[in-house]
């Protein structure tokens, strides 16, 4: 059964109260926040994300190993809970209607249903940003990652999926 990863996003000043285990992407600071009981775990800042995006050039390049509570990375990038990177795009074709939503399956042979993928955009123009902002959630499954949105994309959006 696929796992659903809900991702709230917005500016740091508008971050809502997070329940235990809930995540929030601060778009202005490019920081991923995970609520852990009464503590916020901040996983990345803009320098780390930009370094990660520009420093990795090949699909599924190994970054390190994931520990129980903390990721130990064999890289200059630290504190990111990922082991592999997929580079691709969400295109304008291949979206499947599902109720009031649409989904797009990204084939990643090494993906399993127990992984929690992190979907990140590559550099986007305004039309691509408008499409990106219609995404709702990401689910992992055996051999693929399913991306849900409120509409079919009108332009291809380049992405990274960290898992």
DSSP-based three-state secondary structure for 6: strand
**Considering its fold, how many domains does the chain have in total?**
1
What does pTM read for this prediction? 0.52
Q: How far apart are alpha carbons 31 and 27 in whole angstroms?
A: 7
Which structural domain range is residue 18 located in? 3-162
> Which residues in the chain belong to E strands, given as ranges?
3-6, 8-10, 23-26, 31-36, 39-42, 64-66, 71-73, 85-90, 96-98, 101-107, 118-121, 135-141, 144-149, 157-162
In the predicted model, residues of the chain with pLDDT beneath 50 are: 56-80
* pLDDT tens figures, 55-71: 543 333 333 333 322 23
């Amino acid at each position: 059964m696929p796992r659903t990863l809900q991702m709230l996003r917005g500016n740091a000043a508008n971050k809502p109260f997070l329940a235990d285990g809930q995540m929030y992407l601060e778009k202005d600071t490019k920081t991923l926040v995970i609520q852990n009981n009464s503590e916020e775990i901040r996983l990345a800042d803009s320098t780390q994300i930009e370094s990660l995006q520009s420093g990795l050039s090949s699909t599924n390049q190994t970054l390190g190993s994931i520990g129980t509570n903390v990721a130990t990375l064999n890289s200059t990038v630290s504190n990111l809970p990922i082991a592999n990177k997929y580079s691709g795009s969400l295109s304008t074709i291949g979206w499947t209607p599902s109720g009031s939503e649409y989904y797009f399956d990204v084939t990643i042979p090494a993906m399993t249903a127990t992984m929690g993928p992190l979907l990140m955009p590559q550099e986007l123009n305004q039309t691509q940003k408008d499409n990106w902002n219609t995404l709702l959630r990401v689910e992992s499954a055996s051999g693929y990652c399913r991306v849900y949105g409120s509409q079919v994309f009108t332009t291809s959006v380049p992405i990274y999926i960290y898992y």
